[in-house]
Amino acid sequence: MVTGTLRTPRKPGRTAKPTSPGIGTPARGLLPLVLLLVLWELTGDPQSPYFPPPGSWLAGVEPLVDNGKLLPSLGETAITFVLGLAIATVLGALVGTLVGASRPVDRALSPSLEFLRALPAAALVPVAALVLGYTTEMKLVVVVLPATWPILLTCRTARRSLPPVLLDMSRSLGLSRRERTIKVLAPALLPAVLLGIRVAAPLALIITLLVEIVTRVDGLGALLGAAQSNFLSAQVYGLLTITGVLGFVVNWVVTRAENAVSVRMRGTT
């Protein structure tokens, strides 16, 4: 069956743990974290500028809710993240498939692509800010570039290892180029795209927050940076927790999507 080739092998460590707590990892492992938080709550000083206890975090975030900044910021972060990931997916899938389909094209483009890939996202932030200004478009550009790579790589590998018989048979059956792409190639590469998204999504979120923290354009990162500048430690921890929840939700959604599609693609009912 095609499963052996469609599920591209993951490099060790790239996605070290595919499960979320509760699925495969014993829930009792949450004990240390819970204990830590409880201890902190009991022994912490709400007035401490460094370690305000968890109970005070909600109060710390409240002012942002009151002045109507929290939700819009969350929205800005979410939009940049989703849009950036979407663009990265399209770009990565197209270029990856192109490069994977033709060895000569791969050899020609690889060095340039590898060079671009070596530039860390953090280094791109000041560059983008200077060249494109402090705008949402700039945020998008910074997010798209690094998020494209995982998807590009998985699509390239999948396209390379696509059984040649798939395209041969579709040509033999007289399918037009359009039909071949839509009915055969795209579904065959879909699991690879989703695997790439699964790796790229957390990355895209991190970079969205990164660009927001460094440039303070908008979004959760900007709030986080502002809270830190104003020494509002409870607010900092509160916002940190919110980003954590966001990160967890993103991971969960993306993993579920990948699993669902893989099952469908393998044709088991």
Partner 1 sequence: MISCRDLSVTLPAASGPVHILADVHLDVGEGEFVSVLGASGSGKTTLLRVLGGLQPATAGSVSCDGTPIDGPANGVVTVFQDYANSLLPWRSVRRNVALGIEQQLGKPERDARVDEALDMVGLLERADDYPAQLSGGMQQRVQIARALAMRPRVLLMDEPFGALDAMTKATLQDQLQGVHAATGATIVFVTHDIEEAVYLSDRVVVLSGRPANVGLTLDVALPRPRNQVSTKEDQEYLHLRHKVYEALGHDVGEQAHA
Partner 2 sequence: MLSRVNVSGVAVFVLGLALWEVLVRTGLLTFTYLPAPTEVAVGLAEVVENGELPSALAHTVTAALAGWALAGLAGVAAGSLLGLVRRVWMYSMASLEALRALPIVAFVPVAVLLFGFSVQTEIIVAFYAALWPILLNTIAGMRTKDRLIETGRVLRLSRAAVLWKIRLPAATANIVVGLRLGLSTSLVLTLVAEMVGNPAGLGFLLVSKGQALQPGHMFAGVVVIGVTGIVLNAIVLGLARLVFRGQLTSAGEV
Positions that interact with partner 2 (CB under 8 A): 11-13, 16-17, 19-22, 25-34, 50, 104, 107-112, 115, 118-127, 129-132, 202, 205-207, 209-210, 213-214, 221, 224-225, 227-228, 231, 233, 236-237, 239-240, 243-245, 247-248, 251
Q: Does residue 174 touch partner 1 according to CB under 8 A? A: yes
Token pair 């980003």 in the structure block, residue: 243
Q: Does residue 172 touch partner 1 according to CB under 8 A? A: yes
DSSP 28: G
Q: Side-chain half-sphere of 24: how many Cα atoms within 13 Å?
A: 4
Distance in Å, CB of 62 to partner 2, minimum:
19
Token pair 């909600």 in the structure block, residue: 58
205 touches 244 (CB < 8 A): no
Q: Which of 198, 211, 181 is CA-nearest to residue 14?
A: 198
Tokens representing 139 are 């945020």
Stretch that binds partner 1, among 66-74, 144-152, 202-210, 258-266 (CB under 8 A): 258-266
Q: Does residue 118 touch partner 1 according to CB under 8 A? A: no
Q: How many helices (H) and strands (E) does the chain have?
A: 12, 0
Select 162 or 239, whichever has its Cβ closest to partner 2: 239
Select 127 or 263, whichever has its Cβ closest to partner 1: 263
> Using N-to-C axis directions, what is the helix angle for 121-132 and 186-215, rounded to 10°?
70
Residues that bind partner 1 (CB under 8 A): 1-3, 5, 163, 165-166, 168-176, 179, 183-184, 187-188, 264-269
